[in-house]
Amino acid sequence: MAVDLRGRNLLTLKDFNTEELYQLIETGYELKLENKRGQAHPLLAGQTLAMVFQKPSLRTRVSFQVGMAQLGGQALYLGPDDIKLGKRETTEDIAIVTSRFVDGIMARVFGHEIVAELGEHSSVPVINGLSQWTHPCQALGDYLTVWEKKRRLEGINLTFLGDFNNVARSLVFGGLQLGVNVTVGCPEVTIEGKPADEYADVLEWAAEVGPRHNAVLRVLHDPAEAVAEADVVYTDVWESMGEKGTKTKDIFQPFQLDEALFAKARPDAVIMHCLPAIYDEELTYEISRKPNSALFDQAENRMHAQKAVMAALMHPGH
């Protein structure tokens, strides 16, 4: 029996348990197969998703919009200059008013508190399309991708290299609950030479939740040690949107994913990156095009996984 997720928000993968995460991944895979067979699945016929963006996007915008159309509904793009989130009226009023018109809201925001506030005051499900703190839809699509490549998630070793950022956090929150061991290889210091204590909350959560799923989070500062035994090597930009100029990029250089570092992972390791990438910073172009690169499968799987999320959370006649 499927777990009923109708009416829930997706703000962080921490809020979903193992069974619920597997259900979303499995549904995403089924929807993908149906889509490849040309089988229509109008599960959200007549429904509308509002897509609120404070930041630019290719994958998130297109995958939600096309995904919603494939589910028989429509999506409405509200860019930074449309509703001027946080500037023209309160986030609370925006949530109340928007949810009178639509059946779901997806929001890409700067501070996580903004999407949390939308979720608190909206009468329809709110989906986090990236906040400074976490990027849950990314990790969900990524674990669908890892499952496709490895046919299992339990016991998989995933190494994330670079900045312990929103994508890394989401991979931890989803991964540990799915039985994936996550290693983050990052510099000891990040911002202006200060100790990188910005992930203290994640360490605390992982220490409590990991043992329940036989999964561990390790934070290592030696890139070679971090990559050893990895089944998946994942990286992301060193400076996220909204952080330009706040970090000394030199400290990330040893964590660049190139041939030499990748050679230290397991021979059949998969290469991942959420994109957009800056080639020759966090990874080389050559690495991104190797046969075991899953970069573009990940991008595609955003749509399939998010369709599962929308179909599960949104429902006719809310």
Report the interface residues with ligand CP, using CB under 6 A: 57-60, 130, 138, 274-276
Residue 99 or 240 with smaller CB distance to ligand NVA: 240
**What's the min distance (Å) between Cβ of 318 and ligand NVA?**
29
Residue 73 or 174 with smaller CB distance to ligand NVA: 174
DSSP 8-state class, residue 59? H
282 binds ligand NVA (CB under 6 A): no
65 binds ligand NVA (CB under 6 A): no
How many C-beta atoms surround the C-beta of residue 15 within 10 A? 13
Residue whose C-alpha is closest to residue 272's, from 218, 301, 303, 232: 232
Binding at 149: pick from ligand CP, ligand NVA, none (beta carbon under 5-8 Å per type)? none
167 binds ligand NVA (CB under 6 A): yes
Site string for ligand NVA, 241-260 (x = CB under 6 A): x-------------------
Among 20, 142, 231, 236, binds ligand NVA (CB under 6 A): 236
Place of tokens 């703000």: 11
Q: How far is residue 242's CA from residue 132's CA, in Å, rounded to a whole number?
A: 8
Residue 43 or 274 with smaller CB distance to ligand CP: 274
Tell me, what amino acid is at 153? L
Q: How far is residue 219's CA from residue 226's CA, in Å, rounded to a whole number?
A: 8
Three-state DSSP class for residue 291: coil
Residue 206 or 233 with smaller CB distance to ligand CP: 233
272 binds ligand NVA (CB under 6 A): no
Q: Is 76 exposed, middle or buried (0-12, 13-18, 19+ CB in 10 A)?
A: middle
Stretch that binds ligand NVA, among 16-24, 164-172, 253-261, 310-318 (CB under 6 A): 164-172
Residue whose C-alpha is closest to residue 217's, from 243, 250, 264, 185: 185
Peptide bond into 125 cis (omega under 30): no
Three-state DSSP class for residue 232: strand
Binding at 58: pick from ligand CP, ligand NVA, none (beta carbon under 5-8 Å per type)? ligand CP
298 binds ligand NVA (CB under 6 A): no
Residues that bind ligand NVA (CB under 6 A): 130, 165-167, 236-237, 240-241, 274
